[in-house]
RNA sequence: GUCCCGUUCGUCUAGUCAGGUCAGGACACCGGGUUUUCAUCCCGGCAACAGGGGUUCGAAUCCCCUACGGGACGCCA
């Protein structure tokens, strides 16, 4: 009798739900289903600064939209809860204490400033930046004294000084990494929350996860996890590291270069099953090479060894082709109508848009021409219109700044957007009207249009971002793009006028 | 910089584990056909084993080196 297969997907609720999360979830699910096991959804919200309940809800909604189902999770419970790491602190802290008592971990009182300094020096000497062991041998008295003084501290894991860590990756075979490469990783932060590495190991163990299927980005830190399992006296699960989805330039898929938000695809009018199918063919082919398959079909025949290891480039063109086939071959016309209505051709959506359009209507015929940009992926307009009477370079600058400023918006609402553009007009010493002109084209494709802030608010961050990027792309074709140098100086200028960028 | 992972048409990939068919399919692109237009659909075309060395009668496949790409090196995950 083989032990139950249990996989997990462990997203961090920071920002918009990412297609990478769905990608990993898909294969975790397929693997669990294939082996008659379960998949757990665990929310990794140990970063108190960046985690938010809204983001958590968005992740659940996004995965559900795609048709990804989990057997245990924060919404549906299960026998291994709670499923939010922030609610499992006692488990984490107990193990941290155990490690400290065992001598496998130690308290570190170094300040962020000191650590930065050390790191800087090491970089300058072309060494691998690592903790220098400053607090490794503090005496019990020193520790007690510092604690009494209320000095903040973290807990670090002790790592062997020689030898190498050998572990098996189910897809790549044996991986060997020198312990010398591994830093004395912080496992508990000064706020008492565990870091990923600790929480991950403790929770995977307690949740009886048998197979850790995750992104390739984790290979280099797997030794830390292997070591923690050893020190805690637990059997490690199997590891399989999947390739990372890539941008067309082969870098790790990022929202700067691609729509990475799951909701983008929903809002742009893709079918969830086509999306899931497409993700399934990234790095994987069914044994019979079928290109159109459902989640069930994938799960039935899934063999993780068939994963290819080169990072696949996310290709919108092929996704669109696939979506078209679903529309024509997988759904009957009645279903297509229903889906279209559910998408945006419904009363709620029309009501939202009509509120903006009504003052501008004489007849119903005016509605759709005025509101087309609310129902398309990206409007069409000429680059001349976009530039208008301004300098192309200057328009590029405005769009770029707006792109950065938009990243700072937490609550994507009309008022926040209005404030943003008003602030921008002030800083740029422009009339709001002049500032907004290119944005009207970028967002709605026309200067005769619905109110901009409301349109952007309704479109949401994903669709809006792509439209700005599309405008920038059009400008770059006129030669008005920023050189690397120009971009750098703009960034500098931006930082002094608007504050730091957020990614 | 150090370490790790990877590399078949522009893109997704089959073939690699058990060496032996013109390296197969799909997207994109190009051409042709059907269609009052367009799209769909059908037919055809273009196009790849990163490079070098080995092992072998024979290498995309096994081994080594190089190159290139990616990732990691946070009190983020």
SS3 A178: strand
CATH topology of domain A88-236: 3.90.800
Unique residue bearing structure tokens 């999306």: A275
A378 touches A444 (CB < 8 A): no
What tens digit of pLDDT does each residue of A100-116 get?
A: 999 999 999 888 888 88
- The answer, yes or no, to whether residue A126 has pLDDT greater than 80, is no
Q: Which residues of A are catalytic?
A: 255
A178 touches strand B (CB under 7 A): yes
Q: Which of residues 3-42 of A touch strand B (CB under 7 A)?
A: 10-12, 14
CA-to-C1' span, A291 to B20 (A): 30
* CATH architecture, domain defined by A383-498: Orthogonal Bundle (1.10)
What tens digit of pLDDT does each residue of A440-485 get?
A: 999 999 999 999 999 999 999 999 999 999 999 888 888 777 777 7
Structure tokens, A394: 């200057």
In this chain, the answer to whether the domains covering A88-236 and A383-498 adopt an identical fold is: no
A502 touches strand B (CB under 7 A): no
A455 touches strand B (CB under 7 A): no
Q: What is the mean pLDDT of chain A?
A: 92
Quick one: how many helices (H) and strands (E) in chain A?
20, 9
Where is average pLDDT lowest: A16-30, A90-104, A467-481?
A467-481
Domain ranges of chain A: 6-75+246-328, 88-236, 383-498
Structure tokens, A317: 């063109």
For A482-503, give the secondary structure using H, E and C.
CCHHHHHHHHHHHHHHHCCCCC
Whose CA is closest to A262, among A245, A283, A250, A241?
A245
A246 touches strand B (CB under 7 A): yes
SS3 A33: helix
Across A43-69, average pLDDT: 95
Q: Is residue A142 very low, low, confident or very high in pLDDT (cuts 50, 70, 90)?
A: confident
| pTM score | 0.93
Any idea what the Cα angle at residue A492 is, between residues A482 and A436, rounded to 5°? Answer: 60
A333 touches strand B (CB under 7 A): no
- Chain B positions within 7 A of any protein Cβ atom are 1-8, 10-17, 24-28, 40-41, 69-77
Query: In residues, how long is chain A?
Result: 503
Q: Spelled out in words, what is the top-level CATH class assigned to the domain A6-75+246-328? A: alpha beta
Q: Is residue A318 very low, low, confident or very high in pLDDT (cuts 50, 70, 90)?
A: very high
Residues 6 or more apart whose CB falls under 8 angstroms from that of A460 comprise: A263, A267, A412
């Amino acid at each position: 009798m083989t032990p139950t297969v249990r996989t997990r997907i462990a997203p961090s609720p920071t920002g918009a739900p990412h297609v990478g999360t769905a990608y990993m979830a898909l294969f975790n699910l397929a693997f669990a289903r294939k082996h008659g096991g379960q998949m757990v959804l665990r929310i990794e919200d140990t970063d108190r600064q960046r985690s938010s309940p809204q983001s958590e809800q968005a992740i659940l909604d996004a995965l559900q939209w795609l048709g990804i189902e989990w057997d245990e999770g924060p919404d549906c419970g299960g026998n291994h809860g709670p499923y939010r790491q922030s609610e499992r602190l006692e488990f984490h802290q107990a193990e941290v204490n155990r490690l400290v008592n065992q001598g496998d971990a130690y308290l570190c009182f170094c300040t962020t400033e000191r650590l930065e300094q050390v790191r800087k020096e090491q970089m300058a000497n072309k060494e691998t930046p690592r903790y220098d062991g400053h607090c490794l041998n503090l005496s019990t008295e020193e520790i007690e004294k510092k604690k009494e003084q209320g000095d903040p501290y973290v807990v670090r894991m002790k790592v062997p000084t020689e030898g190498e860590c050998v572990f098996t990756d189910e897809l790549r075979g044996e991986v060997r990494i020198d312990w010398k490469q591994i830093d004395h990783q912080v496992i508990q932060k000064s706020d008492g929350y565990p870091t990923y590495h600790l929480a991950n190991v403790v929770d995977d163990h307690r949740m009886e996860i048998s197979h850790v299927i995750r992104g390739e980005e984790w290979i280099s830190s797997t030794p830390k996890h292997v070591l923690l399992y050893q020190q805690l006296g637990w059997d490690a699960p199997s590891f399989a590291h999947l390739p990372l989805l890539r941008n067309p330039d082969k870098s790790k898929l990022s929202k700067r270069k691609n729509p990475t938000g799951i909701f983008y695809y929903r809002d742009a009018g893709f079918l969830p099953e086509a999306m899931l199918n497409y993700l399934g063919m990234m790095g994987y082919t069914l044994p019979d090479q079928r290109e159109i398959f459902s989640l069930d079909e994938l799960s039935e025949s899934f063999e993780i060894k068939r994963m290819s290891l080169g990072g696949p480039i996310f290709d919108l063109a092929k996704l669109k082709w696939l979506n078209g086939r679903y529309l024509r071959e997988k759904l009957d016309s009645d279903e297509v109508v229903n889906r279209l209505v559910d998408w945006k051709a419904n009363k709620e959506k029309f009501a939202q848009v009509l509120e903006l359009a009504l003052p501008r209507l004489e007849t119903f015929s005016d509605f759709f021409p005025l509101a087309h940009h609310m129902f398309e992926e990206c409007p069409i307009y000429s680059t001349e219109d976009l530039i208008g009477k301004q300098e192309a370079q200057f328009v590029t600058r405005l769009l770029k700044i707006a792109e950065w400023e938009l990243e700072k918006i937490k609550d994507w609402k009309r008022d926040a957007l209005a404030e943003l553009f008003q602030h921008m007009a002030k800083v740029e010493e422009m009339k709001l009207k002049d500032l907004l002109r290119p944005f009207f084209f970028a967002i709605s494709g026309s200067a005769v249009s619905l109110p901009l802030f409301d349109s952007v608010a309704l479109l949401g961050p994903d669709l809006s971002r792509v439209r700005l990027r599309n405008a920038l792309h059009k400008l770059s074709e006129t030669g008005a793009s920023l050189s690397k140098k120009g971009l750098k100086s703009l960034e500098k200028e931006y930082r002094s006028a608007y504050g730091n960028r957020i990614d």
